[in-house]
Chain A
Amino acid sequence: MNKRSSSENFRRILGRVTQYDFVGRGDELSRIMAHAEPANAGRGLLLLMEPSAGVSELLRQAYDQIFNRRSEVIPIYFAFTRHETTAVSAAIEFLNTFLQQYIAYRRDEPVVSHSTLTLQDLVELAPPADVEWIEQLVDSYTRLRFSNDDKALVRFCLGAPQRIPAGRGRPLIMLDGAQLADYLNGVVVLGTEVLRVFGRGGFTFVLAGLRRQILAAAHEAKCNFELLDILRLQQLDTTQAALLVEHVARRQHVTISEAARDLLVQQFAGNPFFISIFLQAAREKNASLDSYLDCERLYVDELLGGHLHRHFAELLEEIAPRLDTRHLLIRVLWEAAAGEDQTSTFEGWRKRLHVTAGELQEILQRLHAQEFVNWDQGIVEAGVGPQAWKDYLKVRYRLDVLNDPRALVVADALADSLKRAPHTMARHYKQIAGGGLRELIGRFNCQRIPSVLFDYATFSRKYKGAESDTIAAGLEAEADLLKLPQTVHLASCAAFNSDMRQLTDDERCLLAHTFEDGAYSDAQQVIWFTADLEAKLEVDVDVARAWYERFETLAETLSFTRYQIWLISNEGFTEEASRFLNRRKAFSSSRSQLGLIAERVGEPVPAPVVQTTEANEFLMVVPMGEDNELIAASTAEQIARRLLFRPEAINQIKTAVVEACINASEHSFSPDRKIYQRFRLESDRLVVTISSRGIVPANLNGASSGLEISEAAEERRGWGLKLIRTLMDEVEFERVDEGTSLRMTKYLRQSSS
């Protein structure tokens, strides 16, 4: 009751969304609130954000919470904007905002925070106890304003909160430098000046800004780092980003499917700014986002003329204010990103851009701050930045440099985005599936594990088909134990050799630096190469040999003298493959062995769960696995009986449903691990649709997944489909953006009478 009434009394002042709709930054908000506590008085908090990671609403929400608390802490929120053209004008605006928000808090009148007020208005609005010092402050400001000493004026304005007399509250200054501020013209570098004033003690403040920019400014200003705390603000994780999409879509009245939601999350890599402006664009265009096509159409519109376009265009204009340099910059950036060699020298860039060294230095500083390039002394690496930035560069390059017809650029951009979407999702689903492997190897810390779990052939001989209790008892009794090393560094193999990315996903091919017994010496150092191979049946010797040799070559290239190769496959390895690997002392495990290893090393990673609803039909959702296809088959039987199908036909339907469920489950990397079943009764037929989310199987969309799937595996998948086609009268794959949706029809008269 108290909680509810407190929520009802909560006044939204600067926040643009309700507390309920503010998702994804709960921990960061708590951290800022903790910074307002007396224990942190006089300390600064640097909020280091990835570009566009969305900090402004976080600070506004913090402002509202502190305002509503009515404690001794007085919240002051100020955002440096691109509209302020000089450091002086920005500092004056800060002074005005500070006084306005101070008075709003002292009078407990939030509306004062929003009003347009002059300094004289503020003096008149000041509570009697504050009139004197505020009058003095305004007088001093007026004198300094016309003194022609810009630096002194900037420092005076920024230092105004220090003039609050004792006993009138303690200000928490929250400075939103997301759009800041080094770009402001004039002799004063504002970012550095802000930190010079605030970062040398005395103030309790939060300064948020681009991570590369703020840290550099803090060093430049010679801040006292003992009085600074750091909070890193990254993009949202998948769950939080999906929640954000749902909230923003609801607020903007945009209908969106689950598949489209997940695509946006992945395509924008959890970037809250991109997600928000994209959904805003959907609302403005009254667009529904039900399919990948809906999303990509809007995305291309946005790249060419919407919010995304404006965002990147403004950034580019700030980075390279001169139009001719900007065109050359687009060319250089895109050609570097699209080329094989993405690194170039400073001098190389200078010649191509036709600018002086000083001008290029400014341009590169800004590109580096926005993380559009990595600039380290003489070397510039392009081809970095979010996908939306790369897509923007590409369309600008084609339009502005190549002068391609706009219609062609639009069509190509749309086609490219549509073709990329399933791959984006497939990569994500595989990352989820492979994420457990990274966690597992990362937890290696000298645990003792039965050796048989790293030897598929022996495991298969001893335990395949045995009850779990039997396996557990057997493993408990195993005397031959392998002592795992301690993992100290773990990365994708592709991080060491980008060619590996052609063969498998990053998360399924890992390279770990480990030490045996946790002893850090050359003799104890062992590199673990691990690959999780995608195959439906036992992996044969050719595939095993190819992977072994790849790792051997990589080890040689990287001069690793001691290494351990570990191959994993869902169903293990053929006898020949096992013999090959055993002879070379390589480890081999099946998925079930991997699960047993995980149990012994630490907790398994839980699978994500989402729900769905449908109406007007018999709809059932069952989790994958645990023989749940029998539940589906049983339901099909009950429904088929209503149409008076003969027993043989009912059995055929049941078998087809079972096979469809198995197809839906097998290696779909389904994000929700659910099978969706729709049963529609018509006068002369039963229509059953079995769907799942996840990867579109390569044999259904005609595309190759690029992964090694043996012919035998394909054959077995073919068996299920072959059975279904034989048992049912009509079988059709419905077009879906991801996963599979198989519609099967059985006619009453034709097949059962």
Chain B
Amino acid sequence: MADEITRRKFLERGIGVMAGAVTIGIGGVALTSIGAPAVTNKLEGKWVEAGSASDLAPDKFNPVGLVYESKDGWMEGKSKMLAYVKVSGENILALSATCSHLGCNVNIDDSTGGFKCPCHTGVYDAAGKNISGPPPKPLKKLEAKIEDGKLMINTMPKEEA
């Protein structure tokens, strides 16, 4: 019988199985915990008060820095982000400054009223739509409202502009 399991073969396979099981088991635990925050460490949207609405110049984009309490893994502290807010009469347009390409903060382009990314020269129009360069999508829209004269912005983007 060629495939008869001899004592030697049994021992050899036993070593392989035991070493493999321990490696996969312990390695699996370590790798799972390393990777887990990718799924569990979610950024939560928050309404943040962003100063007085009367400070905003009307009919043009104003850079508005948002500082808010957040939880990031073990750390509870302040997070920051940037929004561009334009108030035209009753309408408020708030855009996240994060470029849809690779995450840099875009700048206001005074000549067009739109935005330019300082990283890879992405260009957006005044509605936040990507018009040239590498950005694949428009800037993201943020929910915004004015309550008792205070500008309130939700940090979690709702949709693309």
Q: Does B bind A?
A: no
Binding site for B on A (CB under 8 A): none
Binding site for A on B (CB under 8 A): none
